[in-house]
Amino acid sequence: MDVEGYRTKFKKDLDALVDHLFHRIWPPSRVSYRIWPKNLTYREVNEEYASHIKKLSEKIMEWLSERLGLRREALKEGLGGEAVEYLMKINYYPPCSDQDLVVGAPVHTDVGPITFLVANEVSGLQAFKDNHWIDTKCTTSGIIVIISDQFREKRSTDAEKDEKKTVEMKDEEKKQNVVYGKQQEQQIKKPVVCGIASLGYDHIEILGNNKKLLHYFGLNFILIDLSVLLSGVPAFTMPQPDEAMSVLDEKASELERMSNGKYKSAEHRATMDKEKTRMSWPVFVESSLDHEFGSLPELITGDDNAPKFKPFVYKDYKVRKLKKLALD
């Protein structure tokens, strides 16, 4: 599960290549210099950058911990303390003049807890907020901080839907086979609307006892395909027992992990410029692969604040995230 090294993505619709290089910059014991470009200045600059990014990241994590009413060290400790890793990615987007809007990095949230991004002087990074794409300000004197999934995971896919609409509408085949929310396990095509009923256990005989298709709540009813609900289509429900209603509320809203519901991961994408090459350098903060994390114990303070997510070993979590598999 190591992503270090060069990757190239061919954007066939544009006849363009987008290049990426991944390499760790911290901790020193996890740095493979053979992957770094062979250039002394590169090494010096990146080592210095790593030490600054680590300091900045730890400071921001302290502030984020304090905002949660926790000890300053809480989030860093929850991520694995000094074993926390910093993974640099270099994105290279060539100029692309084909269309008005060319997406170089499709809508996504980053996998770890937090990302730090700098870019060259070409704008392109956009964040999805209030149903709109907002251009981030292009600056060479600041660092963009992106709250990512390990702190809080957003499962509704409004931005993803929006992007599919604008970018993929041309592609007839895809249009017919779009799997909303990309739940590969469930393979559900996008419904226009979702109606939720209560069914008795006797329906298991007809529908099959397939956990990928059925979610069981309480003792006396079944809800089918909550993934539909998570895909952001309008949903209506017949009156449900309180217990079921609270599960629906929870599933329909954004899901969170380490902050047990307090922070929100930012959906973003990168567009390509018509004339200029764009480069960006995100640094992803990550737990080490064998580290187990979950909602921080300090945030679990009784029934109201019971842990909302099961703990994960970071490696399993990352694999599932990258393959877009369910995490519950």
Ligand X SMILES: O=C(O)CCC(=O)C(=O)O
Q: Are 222 and 203 in contact (CB under 8 A)?
A: yes
Q: Are 114 and 259 in contact (CB under 8 A)?
A: no
> Of the ranges 23-31, 35-43, 119-127, 187-195, which one interacts with ligand X (CB under 6 A)?
119-127
Indicate whether 280 belongs to the interface with ligand X (CB under 6 A). Answer: yes
**C-beta closer to Fe ion: residue 127 or 248:** 127
Q: Are 265 and 109 in contact (CB under 8 A)?
A: yes
CA–CA gap between residue 313 and residue 245 (Å, rounded): 30
Judged by CB under 5 A, the chain residues 253 through 292 that form the site for Fe ion are none
CA–CA gap between residue 290 and residue 323 (Å, rounded): 18
CA distances from 220 to 72, 216, 241 (A): 44, 9, 10
Return the one option of Fe ion, ligand X, none that residue 119 interacts with (CB less than 5 to 8 A, by type).
Answer: ligand X
- List residues bridging with 87 in a β-sheet: 24, 284
> Of the ranges 41-49, 105-113, 242-250, 294-302, which one interacts with Fe ion (CB under 5 A)?
105-113
Return the one option of ligand X, Fe ion, none that residue 235 interacts with (CB less than 5 to 8 A, by type).
Answer: none
Q: Least distance to Fe ion from the beta carbon of 200, Å? A: 44
CA distances from 7 to 3, 22, 95, 111, 118 (A): 9, 8, 18, 18, 20
Binding residues for ligand X, total number by CB under 6 A: 12
**C-beta closer to Fe ion: residue 110 or 162:** 110
Task: Find the residue with minimal CB distance to Fe ion.
Answer: 110
Indicate whether 103 belongs to the interface with ligand X (CB under 6 A). Answer: no
**C-beta closer to ligand X: residue 102 or 119:** 119
DSSP label at 51?
Answer: H
DSSP label at 153?
Answer: B
Pattern 61-100, binding to ligand X, x per CB under 6 A? Answer: ----------------------------x-x---------
Count Cβ atoms below 10 Å from residue 88 Cβ, excluding itself. 21
* Selected binder of Fe ion within 85, 110, 256, 286 (CB under 5 A): 110
Indicate whether 18 belongs to the interface with ligand X (CB under 6 A). Answer: no
Phi/psi at 186 (5° precision): -95, -25
User: Residues in the site for ligand X, rule: CB under 6 A?
Assistant: 89, 91, 105, 110, 117, 119, 124-125, 268, 270, 280, 282
